Amino acid sequence: GASSVAGGLIHPFSPRGKLIHLGLESLTAAAGLIDAASSVRPDCLVRRRLYRLATEEKHVAQLTKTAEGHPDLARWMTPDEVR
């Protein structure tokens, strides 16, 4: 539904880890907006990365599969690596 696609305005994958329609184009456009905002106020950005957290065991499998299928866009990280 629309609520799961809304994340695609800045994140190119659905909650289940599938690349959404125009997800890459949206990510590119969002990066341009973030760059413009950062040029005016450099402290507006904490990290230049997007994270999707696995809150359940089924999410671990889905997100691991996403990272394996899209190594140029996604990487599986353990909780210790994220900290």
pLDDT tens, residue by residue, 28-45:
888 898 889 889 998 887
The CA-atom distances, in angstroms, between 62 and each of 29, 34, 52, 75 are: 26, 28, 11, 12
Amino acid at 74: A
pLDDT (average), residues 11-39:
86
Q: In this predicted model, which residue has the larger pLDDT, 36 or 17?
A: 36
* pLDDT band with cut points at 50, 70 and 90 for residue 23: confident
Contacts of 44 (CB under 8 A, 6+ apart): 37, 38
Q: Give the start-end residues of each E strand in the chain.
A: none
